[in-house]
Amino acid sequence: MKIPVIALLLQGIPEGIAVAALTFVLSKAELNWKKICLFGIGLSFIAYAIRLLPITLGVHTIVCLSLLIVFMNAFTDADTVVSIVSSVVSFLALLLFETMSIRIITSVFNITFETFLKNSILRTLIGLPHVVLLFLTGYIVKRCFCDTKKHNLDLIW
């Protein structure tokens, strides 16, 4: 499914950065924002390019998930299994938050799917709440489960 360039810039890139940031947090890798932003922007452009191709919907997700695992494994100190699990959990969070926010917003404001697809600005705006939720999840996990020495619950590992 082709997406407008404005959606890539205002929603896709922040979404890619949020997924990368959450993956870093879950894998307990050092939060290197330069790497996180590069990974996120790279994933966004790769997803955008794949969506331009006449292939099955969802292939971009599999490719981006695989690349995130490879990036995490190659460019952080995270273990391979940790990279895989944290990347999968981050993409599942993306799927959950995106589905929830789109359904809630379109339902509350009575927006049809056709209107959603045709209006680039509306589509971009509706896509922003799940990005905020991804960043918020990363912040909460980092703050509550990773930073505290006294109450380290060791969320995943």
What is the pLDDT at residue 118? 85
What is the pLDDT at residue 157? 46
What burial class does residue 146 get, using C-beta atoms within 10 Å of its C-beta: 0-12 exposed, 13-18 middle, 19+ buried?
middle
In a domain, 18, yes or no: yes
**Could you report the average pLDDT of every consecutive run of 10 residues in the chain (157 residues)?**
83 96 96 96 94 87 95 93 96 96 94 86 91 97 74 46
Give the chain's domain count. 1
In a domain, 151, yes or no: no
Count Cβ atoms below 10 Å from residue 19 Cβ, excluding itself. Answer: 27
DSSP 8-state class, residue 110: T
d(CA 37, CA 80): 21
What is the pLDDT at residue 1? 62
With contact defined as beta carbons under 8 Å apart, do 126 and 67 qualify?
no
What is the pLDDT at residue 153? 43
**Buried b / exposed e along 117-127 (16+ C-beta atoms within 10 A):** eeeeebbbebb
In a domain, 154, yes or no: no
In a domain, 155, yes or no: no
Domain span at residue 133 reads 5-146
What is the pLDDT at residue 114? 87
What is the pLDDT at residue 151? 40
In a domain, 42, yes or no: yes
Task: Please calculate the CA angle 47-95-27 and round it to the nearest 5 degrees.
Answer: 85
What is the pLDDT at residue 10? 93
pTM, two decimals, is 0.89
What is the pLDDT at residue 147? 62
